[in-house]
Structures are given as C-alpha cells and as structure tokens.
Amino acid sequence: MDEPAPTPKLPPARERVGPINACLAALYPEFEGLNHNGPFQLLVAVILSAQCTDKRVNTITPALFARFPTARDIAECDIAELEQLIKPSGFYKNKAKNIRACCVGMVTRFGGEVPGTLDDLVTLPGIGRKTANVILGHAFETPGVTVDTHVGRLARRLGLTRHRNPVKVEFALLEIVPQEERLHFSGRLIMHGRKVCLARKPRCETCAIADLCPKIGVKGLAAKRRRKGRKSASPKSASQKTVSKTRRSAD
C-alpha cells in the first residue's frame, strides 16, 4: 500500500526542507561523484554505478573510455571485451548488455548523442527516471530529484512525504525543494543515508539533523530489534530441551 499510517503533526514539509538541506549542506559540502567528460561518459558511468561505489566506477572508466570513446564504438564492440573492462563493477554481464543496447539506441535514434530530455532518455535500455535525472542535472543543467532507496527512505523518515512509490516521492520533493538545490539535496540524502541514517539502525545520537527529524518509523525499528533479541534469547538450546525431556520421563 502506497500510503502508510499518518505522520505525526508537523510543520509543512515546504517549511522544514530548507533547514534540513542547510544542515546537510554543511555536513556534506562535497559529496562523492562520478568522474566524466560529457553526457555520454556520465550515462555509462551511472549505469556502472548500480550496486557499485562511485570510487570503484572512477577506477574503471578511464580505460573503458580510452578503448571505446564514443557511443558508436560501444555499439559496435565485442561484448566480451566490454565485459572484461567493466568486470570490477559487479553484475558486469547485465551491465555490458544494457550499456551496449543503450549505445545502439543512441546511434540509431539520436545520432550517437545522449538525448537531453527525460522522456527520450527513459526510452533507452538501462535508463530509468533516477539515471535520467542524474544525467539531466549534471550534464544538461536541468536539475531534478533523483530517488533511490536512500532518498525515498530518508524522505519518509524526515516526514517530507508518506509515499513509497519512487515516482510519487520524486514529484513530492519537486514541489518543496528549490530547483537550484534539487540535485544537491538528493546527493546529500544519499550520503547521509549511507553514513548516518542507516536503514535498520539509524545513528540518531550522532545525527546532525536529529532535532529537525521526527524519526518516523525509528521507534518501530527499535521495538522490532528488542522483540528479535528476546526471541533469540528465550528458546532453550537443543541440549537443554533433551535434558528436560529426559528428566520428565524419569519422573
């Protein structure tokens, strides 16, 4: 179900997002990013970054783009060679398939160039709304809100939206985050989600925005951990059960 239980009474999200963003900006003045030279390199790098750190991707792409500098080069490449070049990124067979199919689409439909609109980008293999917004924001100066698991989770925990559908989260944040801050705000939430506001055990005691956060769902996580701890501690071991059963039989 898209709409969970109502959030506690809070000031409007539009009023709260500014102070939250300001604190995160001070905390992450420069967050990790993908090295690239132009839209094509960024597109390939973003596909590689799935289930892989930006740091690792940045070690892979120099050799990759030296060997295949254009979309046409990748569209016409031996996929086995492409796989070997991107293997350290993980899930390399599927990524190689998507990258080459994406480049074929660019060559056949867009003259080998990366299209500059979201509607066109999402028609390419391996490109969803999140990837498209990253490309538009960084390469075409058209900032959007990129919603991954961290952004969606923190947006709900901070009480900025109740939606779970990523597209609905995206549109909700577009309404309250100033255009010039959208891309940076997404990146800051991602970094905060990785380093502090963890999914199962958020570090609220050291969180710089703890006073601004209603911590929606956090109490439920703590209660769940306590129940799990009691459950794992309460059952008798197999040897204890055997001894108890033997004693009852003897009686």
134, HSE (Cβ side, Cα atoms, 13 Å) = 23
Number of Cβ atoms within 10 Å of the Cβ of 44? 28
Q: What is the pLDDT of residue 115?
A: 96
Q: How far apart are CA 202 and CA 245, in angstroms?
A: 43
Q: How far apart are CA 114 and CA 105, in angstroms?
A: 10
Q: In the annotation, is 148 catalytic?
A: yes
Count the domains in the chain. Answer: 2
Q: What is the pLDDT of residue 199?
A: 93
Residue 1 located in a structural domain: no
Contacts of 154 (CB under 8 A, 6+ apart): 189, 192, 193, 197
Residues 117 and 188 in one domain: no
Q: What is the pLDDT of residue 250?
A: 46
Q: In the annotation, is 9 catalytic?
A: no
Of the three residues 95, 113, 139, the one that is the final residue of a domain is 139
CATH code for the domain in which residue 116 is found: 1.10.340.30
Q: What is the CA radius of gyration of the chain?
A: 23
Q: How far apart are CA 109 and CA 242, in angstroms?
A: 71
Residue 250 located in a structural domain: no
Residue 47 located in a structural domain: yes
Residues 23 and 49 in one domain: no
Q: What is the pLDDT of residue 155?
A: 97
pTM of the entire structure? 0.74
Residues 149 and 135 in one domain: no
Q: How many residues does the chain have?
A: 251
Q: How far apart are CA 80 and CA 82, in angstroms?
A: 5
Task: Please answer whether residues 172 and 155 qualify as being in contact, where contact means their C-beta atoms are separated by less than 8 angstroms.
Answer: yes
The tens-digit pLDDT sequence of the chain (251 residues) is: 455 545 457 899 999 999 999 999 999 887 667 899 999 999 999 999 988 988 999 999 999 999 999 999 999 999 999 999 999 999 999 999 999 999 999 999 999 999 999 999 999 998 999 899 999 998 998 888 989 999 999 999 999 999 999 999 999 999 999 988 998 899 899 999 999 999 999 999 999 999 999 999 998 776 666 666 666 665 554 445 444 444 444 44
Q: What is the pLDDT of residue 10?
A: 83
Query: Which one of the listed residues 54, 73, 120, 148 is annotated catalytic?
Result: 148
Residues 133 and 184 in one domain: no
Q: What is the pLDDT of residue 144?
A: 87
Q: How far apart are CA 141 and CA 184, in angstroms?
A: 12
CATH code for the domain in which residue 184 is found: 1.10.1670.10
Q: How far apart are CA 195 and CA 200, in angstroms?
A: 13
Residues 80 and 129 in one domain: yes
Residues 18 and 48 in one domain: no
Of the three residues 139, 172, 194, the one that is the final residue of a domain is 139
Residues 135 and 158 in one domain: no
Q: What is the pLDDT of residue 242?
A: 47
Q: What is the pLDDT of residue 9?
A: 76
Query: Which one of the listed residues 130, 168, 201, 251 is annotated catalytic?
Result: 130
Q: How far apart are CA 210 and CA 207, in angstroms?
A: 5
Residues 71 and 130 in one domain: yes
